[in-house]
Structure formats: structure tokens, C-alpha cells
Amino acid sequence: MTMFTLGIEEEFQIIDPETRELRSHMHQIVEGGKTTLKEQVKAEMHQSVVEVGTNICKDIDEARREVTYLRKMIGEISAKQGLLFGAAGTHPFSRWQDQEMTDHPRYHEIVDKLQDTARGNLIFGLHVHVGIPNREIGLQLMNQARYFLPHIFALSANSPFWLGRNTGFKSYRTKVFDKFPRTGIPDYFESVAEYDSYINLLIKTNCIDNGKKIWWELRLHPFFETIEFRICDVPMGINETIALAALIQALVAKIIS
């Protein structure tokens, strides 16, 4: 993979246009999107959440075009179902107890292990992948970029409300996600060998089945040649998403230089 390429994933809310409540109609949205968006639209654990992801983008201009197109298409697909879509780190008043879960073995397994921690994880994030030359450099990037995670997070905070209350937090999404294991800012690792040893120990002890169940705010992606920033609330507007992605890309480039 070319260095500093971008991939952007956004998680959106599916909303009833009259009540503004979340609606568990992800299946219609995902299936409706398969014709035009194919693998760029995905289901999430709750049926009121839909995720879209760009293709690999060579620069921030291409990323902007992709994000704009994906948001436009999700809007059109939602409208055909009589629904709206929205972007914020949490829904301001819908209850997680009222949401239907997606019927998929992966999500059944997570709910079986984590119970209400998983059922209550009704949150919406922005994930930014930046292409790296190899995993060794990616690990050193992860070590150094940890320092900047709170700064990036502060710029993205977009979820003050939860269950109809002003929580007092600018981002309550992170407080909800804190209940999950293997979250937060990653530890420092001396080498890829040490990192892989840690992952393999978790697999050996049946804590996880693969590295995708490492849910840190920043991680080496287990399958792609990317470093993945996962700390941001999903922004309301395209400009904010692109600004955050550009900042993250520039940070990675600066660290490498």
C-alpha cells in the first residue's frame, strides 16, 4: 500500500422522520445500498446503525469526493424507505433497550459474552485508516501517535446527550464504549514481535479470536496495511470529517518524516 493513502468509515443513525427516534431498519438500508455501494455499506450490531466506508483514497481530495458520494447515497436510500439518517456520536434520547440487534453470528457472540455492555453500545464513530509501508513502521507510528489522541478526540466531540439527558460530557460516546474490554489508548510496544505476542496470548486464552476484537482508539489493523484511528465521534458535516481525516493523515506523515 502506498504511504498515507486514506480510508474513512462513518457510522450513521437511521431515524424516523416524524418522531426523530432511531428506527431498526438497517436491513432495508443495507440491502438497498448493495446495488450501488456493494461492500461499502455494512450492518452494525444494532439495526438502527449503518456503516459506510470509502475505497482506498490516494489523497484527501479523493476522500472528500467519496465521503460526499456515500452520504448522498445513504440519504437517498434512506428516503426511499421513508427514513432519514443522522450523524452524531450518540442519539440524544432514543433508548438502547428499544433497539433490535442484528442477526449475525459475530454479534451474537459479542452479546453472549458482554450482555448489556454490548446491547447498550449504541454509539456512532468515525474511523480513519492511513496507509503504512509495513507493520514495523506502523507500530512505531502507533507508539508516537498515542500522545495526540486526546487532541484529535477533543476536536471531534459530538455526543453530549444520552437517554434524553445532558450528560455534562462533550463526548458521552467514549464513556459508553469504556465498558468494553480492550478499549482506550493502547500500551507502548517495543516491537512488532512484542505486539504479536500480546495478540497471540489473547487468542490462545480465548479472550479473542482475531485482532479485530482489539478495540483501542488507535490500532494496527490486523488485516490491512493501515494504522487505524478510532477515537473520533462521527461528525455532523462532511467538512468536519474531511478536516479530521486530513489532520490525522498529516500527523502520520509528520511522525514518519
The full set of domains in the chain, from first to last, is 6-256 (3.30.590.20)
Per-residue pLDDT, 239 = 98
Question: Strands 49-53 and 41-43: what pairing?
Answer: antiparallel
Q: Model's pTM, two decimal places? A: 0.94
How many Å is the Cα radius of gyration of the chain?
A: 18
Q: Look at strands 226-233 and 218-220 and give their pairing.
A: antiparallel
Residues 149, 232 contacting (CB under 8 angstroms): no
* Cβ neighbours of residue 160 closer than 8 Å, sequence gap 6 or more: 166, 167, 168, 169, 170, 171, 172
- The length of the chain is 257
**Predicted confidence (pLDDT) per residue in 19-46, tens digit:** 999 998 766 777 766 667 877 888 888 9
Residue where the block lists cell 510496544: 189
In tens, the pLDDT along 61-107 reads 999 999 999 999 999 999 998 999 999 999 999 999 999 998 888 88
Amino acid of residue 240: E
